[in-house]
Amino acid sequence: MGKKEKILITDDEKSIRNALREILEFENYTILEAENGEQALNVIKSDDVDLVMLDIKMRGMDGIEVLEKIKESKPELPVIMISGHGNIKIAVEATKIGAYDFLEKPPDLNRLLVSIRNGLKSSELIKENKQIRKELHGNTDIIGNSPAISSIKKLIEKVAMSSSRVLITGENGTGKELVARSIHNNSNRFSKKFVDVNCAAIPSELLESELFGHEKGAFTGASSQRIGKFEQADGGTLFLDEIGDMSADSQAKVLRVLQENQIVRIGGNEQINVDVRVLAATNKDLHKEIDEGNFREDLFHRLNVIPIHLPPLRERRDDIALLAEWFLSRLGEREIIFSGKVFSADAIDELKKQDWPGNIRELQNAVERLALLSPEDKITAKDVRKFIQQKKKPSDLLNRLIDETDSFHEYKEEAERLFLLKKLEKYDWNVSATADAINIQRSHIYNKMKKYDIER
C-alpha cells in the first residue's frame, strides 16, 4: 500500500472539523486537526502534512494570515481555503497569496474531493519538478553544519520566496554561485530560467550586448538580432557574477534597468518590460571600490538589499570533513574508478590542517586528485601530504609529477596552471597585459584562473 496522505483541517468549529474528518477518513486520508491558526502552524512545523484545509474566519489569526505564513515556510504545500462567507475579494486575495482553491461552506462533496485530489497531484508535480531541475542543473545543497553556514541556510530559506535582490560576497571558490542557485531553486521562480553572467569573463565592449541584446545591424558584426540575458531570464533569476568587475558604463545601464524594469536592445528604440530577480556576487570589497571611484554607490544600494557573506574555508574547518566526504561520494557515483574510495581519519585531520586559499573549489579538486592518485582504496594522511602539500612547491612540482604519475592529462593541466601563474606574476597580475603577451583572449585567462583556482 502507498503512503496515506495527511490532511490538516483547520477550523474553529468542532462540528465542521468532525464532518470533514468523517468524509476524508472514508476516502482513506490521514486527518490532523487544528482549531486555530497558531495550532495549525505548529502542526505543519512538526508533522509531514500533505495538504491544508483552512477556514478564513477564525478567532485569533485569520486564515489569510495563516496562509501567508504557510507560503513563507512551505511554498509547495497546497492550501484549500474554506469560508462561510462567499467573498470574491477575499478569494482573489487568497489566490494571489498562493491558495490552491477556495470553497464555500458547506462544500459540495464532489467538488471538495476533486479539489483535494488535484491539490495533492499539484504538490507532487512541484516536488518532481524540483528534483528534475536538481538533476539537470546539479545539486544545490549547501554542505556544512558550522554556525556560519547554518545561519546562511536559514537566511536563504527566509529570502528565497521574496523578490528582494541579494548581494553575495566572499573569496573565490567559496560557493557564491551555489548560494544563488539555491535561492532560485527554493523560490517561486524555480520553474523559470536561472541565467548566469560572469561579468569578469566578458570583455567590457561586449558585456552590454550580452546583458541587453542587440538588433541586427546595431554594430559591425551584428548580423542578426540577439536576445540578451535580461530577456532570457524574464520571469526567472539573473545572476550577475563578479559584479565588481563591471565597467562604469555598464553599471549605469544596469542601474537603470533595476529602477525601471525595462531594457532597450543596442541599436533599438523599443522599451521591453522584464520581470527579473537579480542576484549579484563579488569577491571584491565594494565599499573600498566605491571609495576609489570604481563602483557606483547607488548601484551598490540597489543590489545590497539582502547581503550574504560566505566565509572562507579556513574559517569553517569543521565543515572540511563533511565536504571532503561528500565530494568523494559524488565521484564514486559518477565513475566506477572512484567507487570504494574512503578517507582514513588521519587523512581528514590532514585536510583540516590545510589553509585552502582556493576554498571549496580547491578542496573539490584536491579530493579528485587524491581519489585518482592514491594507490589504495583508503586515502591516508601520507597521500594527502604527497599529493596535496606538494602543490605548494611549484618549482619542482613538474619533475615530481613526471616521476609520480603516468597521467598525461594531470601533467598537462598542472603545467598549464604553472605557466599561467608565472606569466601573471611577471606582468604584475595585469590580465590584459598577460593576455597580449601570451597571445590569448582576456576572457580565456579569466576562465583558466577560475578552473585552476588561481588568485593573486
Q: What is the DSSP string of 326-372?
A: HHHHHHHHH-GGGTT-EE-HHHHHHHHHS--TTHHHHHHHHHHHHHH
Residue 29 has a CB neighbour count (10 Å cut-off) of 19
Domain limit, last residue, from 254, 280, 311 = 311
Could you tell me if 42 and 152 lie in one domain? no
For the cut 60, the answer to whether the pLDDT of residue 35 exceeds it is: yes
**Nearest by Cα to 70 from 36, 50, 93, 44:** 44
Residue 142 lies in a domain: no
Query: Is there a single domain that holds both residue 398 and residue 362?
Result: yes
Whether residue 193 is predicted with pLDDT greater than 50 in this model: the reply is yes
Tell whether 357 is covered by a domain.
yes
The whole-number average pLDDT for the span 101-122 is 89
Are residue 154 and residue 296 in the same domain, yes or no?
yes
Q: What is the pTM of this model?
A: 0.61
Is residue 1 included in any domain, yes or no? no
For the residues 222-237, what does the mean pLDDT come to? 92
Q: Give the confidence band of 234 by pLDDT, cuts at 50, 70, 90.
A: very high
- Using alpha carbons, list the distances in angstroms from residue 431 to 173, 281, 409: 19, 20, 26
Closest by alpha carbon to 284, among 294, 273, 297? 294
Q: Is residue 183 part of a domain?
A: yes
pLDDT tens for 53-73 read 999 888 888 888 999 889 877
CATH number for the domain harbouring residue 203: 3.40.50.300
Task: Please state the domain count of the chain.
Answer: 3
pLDDT at 22 over 50: yes
Q: What is the mean pLDDT of the chain?
A: 87
Tell me, yes or no, whether 255 lies in a domain: yes
pLDDT digits (tens, 9 = 90+) for 145-180: 899 999 999 999 889 989 999 999 999 889 999 999
Cα gap 423→416, rounded to integer Å: 11
Q: Which residues fall within 8 angstroms of residue 181, CB to CB, at 6 or more apart?
A: 137, 138, 140, 194, 239
Full residue range of the structural domain in which residue 251 is found? 147-311
Do 281 and 341 share a structural domain? Answer: no
Q: What pLDDT, on the 0 to 100 scale, is given for residue 348?
A: 95
* The pLDDT of residue 396: 55
Q: What pLDDT does 456 receive?
A: 66
Residues 384 and 446 in one domain: yes
Does 456 reside within a domain?
no
Output the pLDDT for position 426: 80
The predicted pLDDT at position 211 comes to 94
Residue 94 lies in a domain: yes
Final residue before a domain boundary, out of 311, 330, 355: 311
Residues 259 and 284 in one domain: yes
CATH code for the domain of 355: 1.10.8.60
Mean pLDDT lowest among 95-104, 256-265, 320-329: 95-104
| Average pLDDT estimate for 134-141 | 58
C-alpha cell at 248: 562604469
Residue 99 in any domain: the answer is: yes
Instruction: Give the C-alpha separation, 341 to 347, whole Å.
Output: 12
Higher pLDDT, 83 or 231: 231
Mind giving me the DSSP string for 40-97?
A: HHHHHHHS--SEEEEESS-SSS-HHHHHHHHHHH-TTS-EEEEESS--HHHHHHHHHH
Looking at residue 432, its pLDDT comes to: 84
Residues 333 and 434 in one domain: yes
Q: Are residues 263 and 327 in the same domain?
A: no
What would the mean pLDDT of 215-234 be, rounded to a whole number?
89
Least confident range of 96-105, 111-120, 291-300, 389-398: 389-398
Q: Distance of alpha carbon 309 from its chain centroid, rounded?
A: 14
Q: Indicate whether 304 and 318 sit together in one domain.
A: no
344 in the same domain as 447: yes
The CATH number assigned to the domain holding 31 equals 3.40.50.2300
pLDDT at 133 over 60: no
State whether 372 and 424 are in the same domain.
yes
**pLDDT at 130 (0 to 100):** 61
User: Would the pLDDT of 1 be above 50?
Assistant: no
* Position 141 pLDDT exceeds 50: yes
Domain co-membership, 50 together with 91? yes
Would you place residue 325 in the very low, low, confident or very high pLDDT band (cuts 50, 70, 90)? Answer: very high
pLDDT given at position 262: 94
- Highest mean pLDDT pick, 277-286, 335-344, 368-377, 407-416: 277-286
Minimum mean pLDDT among 25-34, 104-113, 147-156, 167-176: which range?
A: 104-113
Is it the case that residue 32 has pLDDT exceeding 90? Answer: yes
Of 50-59, 72-81, 131-140, 428-437, which gets the smallest average pLDDT?
A: 131-140
- How far is it between the farthest Cα atoms of the chain? 83
pLDDT at res. 2: 55
Q: Out of 135, 158, 191, pick the residue that ends a domain.
A: 135
